Amino acid sequence: MKKLIFLLIIHVTLFSCSESDDNNEVTNELNGTWNLVHVSCECKPVDLQPGEHIWTFDLNNNELDVLNNVTESQHTILETGTYNITFTSNTVTIQEIEYDYYFENGKLYLADEPESDGPLIEFVKE
């Protein structure tokens, strides 16, 4: 009987342990490098080519790196730099603006109330 209890304790101990912190990397489709290709809103729409404005989401460090290779200033586009972000399974907050994000046909969309003329931002994966 003691052996049975001992085996039961070992079994419970082994299978109740959580995974190591080393395996806690965020696996979210948002993670990675995206090319901004279109912005529409109440403002004049902006169309870009892949490589002109690159956003890299690093969800493990809650950061967004932006590389702006566009020579002409676009008022609706973030400047080159690193931005702190927060995210959930369907929103990402950048510079205190909460965007809904979703994926459609291999593209990423960030939306801030586009039904009220807020921006709808379209990306393609790098």
pLDDT above 90: residue 105:
yes
Q: How many domains does the chain have?
A: 1
**Cα 109 to Cα 3: distance, rounded to the nearest angstrom:** 58
With 90 as the cut, is the pLDDT of residue 18 above it? no
Residue ranges making up the domain that contains 116: 28-125
Read off the tokens for 38: 């279109």
Q: Does 61 fall in a domain?
A: yes
Name the more confident of 49 and 16.
49
Residue 57 tokens, joined: 């989401």
Q: What is the pLDDT of residue 47?
A: 86
Report, as an integer, the average pLDDT of 30-37: 95
* pLDDT over 90 (residue 35): yes
Chain segment 46-102, per-residue pLDDT in tens: 888 999 999 999 999 999 999 999 877 666 678 899 999 999 999 999 999 999 999
How much is the pTM?
0.74
What's the CATH number where 76 sits? 2.40.128.280
pLDDT of res. 124: 97
Distance CA 61, CA 122 (A): 23
pLDDT for residue 20? 40
Residue 21 in any domain: the answer is: no
Long-range (24+ apart) CB contacts under 8 A made by 101-104 are: 101/30, 103/29
- The chain-wide mean pLDDT, for the chain, equals 81
Retrieve residue 91's tokens: 């929103």
